[in-house]
Amino acid sequence: MKQLTESQRLNATRKIMQAVDDWGLTGEQIIAVLSLPDSQRTRHLQKFRDDTAFPDVEQINVRMATLLGIVDALRTSYPKNLQMGARWMNQPHRRFQKRTPIRTMLEDGDAGVIAVLSELDCAYAWELTGSTRN
């Protein structure tokens, strides 16, 4: 993830928090999906919705970039009905062994988050393969 200004980090944090709220995640699930430190308490999540950006830590920065990719891919997949993105995240999917994308992210960690983004964004998946244009 490119270096963001504090304002950009705050906007990205709010966008991600809105998405995980829309997806219906519990506080513990939000902490897991965001890859926040285990010491993070669920009661502190409100500050990320309001006026505090996620910590500027490499692991969290990578997770932010991937989650923003998922949010944007859902928005472009369902441009006329943004609620469909939340529905997609909560429906079992054959490519995730009949698990929901949310469950896949929670159970598989980094690999699960990447799998969900890869399913939504074929260009991202193509990049992961190391393919190049001839």
Q: What is the pLDDT of residues 115-129, one digit of tens each?
A: 999 999 877 655 655
What is the model's pLDDT at position 132? Answer: 60
pLDDT digits (tens, 9 = 90+) for 76-132: 999 989 899 999 999 999 999 999 999 999 999 999 999 999 999 877 655 655 656
- What domain count does the chain have? 1
Answer whether residue 17 is part of any domain. Answer: yes
Residue 133 belongs to a domain:
no
For residue 82, the 8-state DSSP code is T
For residues 17-50, one letter each, b for 16 or more C-beta atoms within 10 angstroms of the residue's C-beta and e for the rest, the string is: bebbebbebeeebbbbbbbbeeebeeeebeebee
Q: Are 66 and 1 in contact (CB under 8 A)?
A: no
> Is 89 inside any structural domain?
yes
Tell me the pLDDT tens digit for each residue of 5-38.
889 999 999 999 999 999 999 999 999 999 888 6
Q: Is the confidence at residue 70, as pLDDT, over 90? A: yes
Is there a domain that residue 90 lies in? yes
For residue 1, being part of any structural domain is answered with: no
Question: Which residues form the domain of 94?
Answer: 6-128
> How far is the C-alpha of 49 from the C-alpha of 128, rounded, in Å?
31
pTM of the predicted structure, to 2 decimals: 0.87
Strand partners, 99: 93
Contacts 24+ apart (CB under 8 A), 7-12: 9/53, 9/54, 9/56, 10/51, 10/52, 10/53, 12/53, 12/54, 12/64, 12/68
Domain for residue 134, yes or no?
no
Average pLDDT along the chain: 89
Q: Comparing C-alpha atoms, which of 66, 68, 116 is closest to residue 91? A: 116
- Centroid of chain to Cα 102: 9
